[in-house]
Amino acid sequence: MKQLSPWPYPKLIAHRGAGKLAPENTLAALRLGQHFGYSAFEFDVKLTRDRIAILLHDADLARTTNGLGRAEDWLFSDLAQLNAGGWHSKEYSGEPIPTLQNIAQYLISNGLGCNIEIKPTPGLETITGEMVAKCAQQYWASVQVKPVLSSFSYDSLAAAKTICPAMPRGFLTNELPENWLQILTDLDCASIHLSHKTLTQTTVDAIKRAGFRVCAWTVNDPKMAQDMLQWGVDSVITDCVDTIAPF
């Protein structure tokens, strides 16, 4: 029987920095989440053309920046000029797209934790997993609590495992696949990150009995967050940093 994986992360994790209150995946969002008492953050990471790891959710730049096209078609020096806050509100206009390195420096110097979601541009699953793992290994080398690397992409997690087997991994999924135990075992995951829409007490029990941790996303109802934690969910990822108080 596998021993339950270590889980040195808080019960509440802020989604994309501060949910919808600040522009997602920016330093400003992390600062706001921190202001509300959050000490761990989920964010999405992908690569630029010159293979710099940056925070961005979509493959395309249009929704969250004033740029166009796919992030992976541009050099970081081009993307660094973009406004990643103006789409959200005037207050955040001029907020840049951060690199993973920028964010690592901020988190580490403030004693904050994180869940790095490896969000590859389609076709770049393996290289993205490799680069994110290499960066995380380097940036968090002297920090005891490492980030948990999660992904919907099996190939990204497999690549991360090859680069840095000791860095915790979480398999992200909308619903529990039939072969979940095989996937978690093959990828040597610490956790599974399941959509709250398909999560049940029975599912949580089965996963925990098998020795893996459970993260639920994206839980924006305070009562549901409480219930899930009572079921044994290890961390709840939420947008509602203002209405769900960290505990």
Chain residues binding Mg ion by CB under 5 A are 44, 117
Catalytic residue positions, numbered: 15, 57
Q: Where are the beta strands (DSSP E) in 140-229?
A: 148-151, 169-173, 191-195, 213-217
Should residue 237 be labelled a site residue for ligand G3P when binding is judged by CB under 6 A? yes
Q: Which is nearer to ligand G3P, 38 or 75 (CB)?
A: 38
72 binds, among Mg ion, ligand G3P, none (CB under 5 to 8 A by kind): none
Q: What is the DSSP string of 93-122?
A: TTPPPPBHHHHHHHHHHTT-EEEEEE-PPT
Should residue 42 be labelled a site residue for ligand G3P when binding is judged by CB under 6 A? yes
Should residue 171 be labelled a site residue for ligand G3P when binding is judged by CB under 6 A? no
Among 26, 39, 150, 220, contact with ligand G3P (rule: CB under 6 A):
150
Do the beta carbons of residue 57 and residue 16 sit within 8 Å?
A: yes
239-245 CB contacts, 8 Å cutoff, 24+ apart: 239/15, 239/16, 239/18, 239/19, 239/20, 239/21, 240/19, 241/14, 241/18, 241/19, 241/21, 241/32, 241/33, 241/36, 241/38, 242/21, 242/36, 244/12, 244/219, 244/220, 245/36, 245/37
130 binds, among ligand G3P, Mg ion, none (CB under 5 to 8 A by kind): none
Q: Which is nearer to ligand G3P, 11 or 78 (CB)?
A: 11
Q: Which is nearer to Mg ion, 44 or 95 (CB)?
A: 44
Name every residue whose Cβ is closer than 8 Å to that of residue 144 and which is 6 or more positions away in sequence.
none
Do the beta carbons of residue 74 and residue 49 sit within 8 Å?
A: yes
Should residue 172 be labelled a site residue for ligand G3P when binding is judged by CB under 6 A? yes
Q: Which residues pair with 117 in a beta bridge?
A: 44, 150
CB of 123 to Mg ion, least distance (A): 19
CB of 3 to Mg ion, least distance (A): 28
Should residue 44 be labelled a site residue for ligand G3P when binding is judged by CB under 6 A? yes
217 binds, among ligand G3P, Mg ion, none (CB under 5 to 8 A by kind): ligand G3P
Should residue 9 be labelled a site residue for ligand G3P when binding is judged by CB under 6 A? no
CB of 1 to ligand G3P, least distance (A): 28
Burial environment of residue 43 by CB neighbours within 10 A (0 to 12, 13 to 18, 19 or more): buried
CB of 237 to ligand G3P, least distance (A): 5
Should residue 24 be labelled a site residue for ligand G3P when binding is judged by CB under 6 A? no
Residues that bind ligand G3P (CB under 6 A): 15, 42, 44, 57, 117, 150, 172, 193, 217-218, 237
